[in-house]
A and B are shown apart, each in its own frame.
Chain A
């Protein structure tokens, strides 16, 4: 029997643009038209100044490794331990949780502040997850 799938996000009206973005190969953030604050997770107003005039834009997909754990137990369904649960500091300012692919899941390989770039991993036809890998060059 196949391993149970990892937790599958279910978009809401306020977050649909983010998940449409990852499916299209874009990491989408929001910026306040009034105060220029860039924020995440998605919402249709600025958490800094409360303006409802906000815009969606394509982020660079670049970031750095802010912090992480390497989870051994208990493992989430759909994950084979040990696996790193990381928080990535995006170039535009916000931080987001993700996983680091294309590199050993060890303290030696996962150095804080290492440059990362986004990569997109389809979970199914609707949902694509934004993961990160060590930046090339």
Chain B
């Protein structure tokens, strides 16, 4: 895709984040969508392209009263929204639609109107993983960690520092769920969830949502907000079975999506001012830093432990506090995108001064899928 042909002109989260017992999942979608529409100064009738995940485009378009000419129901887990941005940019460039609304919402905590997730007994996961006691993401996502640690010499303390540093960012974000400072000892003494990970190394479980509106860069200059351009994009999938990943020392989907986006953007790692790496669990920023080519995997743990990703550090990472401290409704990718857009607009609570390029990297369905979006505020 060509650089900077499409821009984000509307971006908003749900009015509330956290525990929202008075809204169903589809209403959380609508709340985010209406906030994004207002942010862009549009009406719902201006929307002719629509994308969402888990909930279907047909469900959400009918609920919102939208009649689209382009839809995308790509649902590959928490990074689905990165893929939606990529697909929407291609669709707008191809002339299939003009103004795309992407919504995410999940009643992840209150579980109101949330579709049940189940693994059929005759699926491959049902036959070759479920019988061995995997039960939700905390029992699956960290399975590669011990191999990663042994291969690269990563320590428990370094993996604890991921949570410590992100809490420092969260403290600067009024909407973050968890803002109290924590130490490495706090992390390593928190309740064991799935060894080697403890409670503070696992994402939050919350309610909330977010929505984005994209249009062509040429139209974007007429909108009320500062346009945020799509500079580069990448996507891939590997396997829904964590046990069947090619290796536990890297994510193949990361290694495809990340470099694709960098190549398309025509930037080097030194050009990156701001970075989001979807952190459902504490090891993901390490996998991301390594697989996106910021540094060899051996250096990821020491890099974070040395404070290079904390406020004031040379590579600001997960500046909203991340899935570990900001919020995590189940499919966090939308919140990472929202923070990248805020940073590029220059309005983030923990704003990185003068940031011009933001890389937003998502993961989905454990390591099943990945999407990378590179934003810029300069055309």
Contacts and interface: CB of A to CB of B under 8 A. Distances in A.
Interface of A: 6-12, 15, 19, 40-41, 66-79, 82-83, 85-87, 95-99, 107, 112, 123, 129
Given A11-B127, A12-B122, A75 B197 contact: no
Contacts, number: 122
B307 interface: no
Interface in B98-141: 119-122, 124, 126-136, 138-140
Interface stretch (B22-30, B143-151, B257-265): B143-151
B203 to A, nearest CB: 15
A8 B144 CA distance: 24
Contacts of A83: 133
B192 interface: yes
B127 A67 contact: no
Contacts of B131: 6-9, 123, 129
A74 B195 contact: no
Nearest to B197: A69
Contacts of B129: 97
A77 to B, nearest CB: 8
Nearest to A14: B124
A9 B144 contact: no
A107 B243 contact: no
Contact of B248 (A6, A67, A70, A98): A67
Given A7-B126, A67-B143, A112-B150, A99 B132 contact: yes
B193 interface: yes
Contacts of B38: none
Contacts of A6: 131, 133
A75 B248 contact: no
Nearest to B136: A74
B138 to A, nearest CB: 8
B139 A10 contact: no
Nearest to A106: B195
A69 B142 contact: yes
A5 B239 CA distance: 27
B133 A79 contact: yes
Given A67-B143, A74-B138, 16 more contacts: A7-B130, A9-B126, A9-B130, A11-B127, A41-B124, A66-B248, A67-B147, A69-B143, A72-B193, A74-B135, A79-B133, A85-B134, A87-B248, A96-B128, A97-B243, A98-B132
A75 B138 CA distance: 10
Interface of B: 119-122, 124, 126-136, 138-140, 142-147, 150, 191-197, 241-244, 248
B139 A71 contact: yes
B248 A71 contact: no
Contact of A66 (B120, B134, B147, B197): B147
Contacts of A15: 124, 127
27 contacts: A6-B133, A7-B119, A8-B121, A9-B128, A12-B122, A40-B128, A41-B241, A66-B248, A67-B143, A67-B147, A68-B146, A69-B195, A69-B196, A70-B195, A72-B193, A73-B138, A73-B191, A74-B138, A75-B133, A76-B133, A76-B134, A77-B135, A79-B133, A85-B139, A97-B128, A107-B195, A112-B146
Contacts of B140: 85
A97 B132 contact: yes
A98 B133 CA distance: 9
Nearest to A67: B147
A105 B361 CA distance: 35
Nearest to A131: B132
Contacts of A66: 147, 248
A6 B134 CA distance: 10
B195 A72 contact: yes
A54 to B, nearest CB: 17
Given A67-B143, A68-B146, A71-B135, A41 B248 contact: no
Please list the 8 inter-chain residue pairs (A to B) with the smallest Cβ-Cβ separation, ordered nearest first. Answer: A76-B135, A9-B127, A7-B130, A70-B195, A67-B147, A97-B243, A10-B121, A10-B122
Contacts of A68: 143, 146
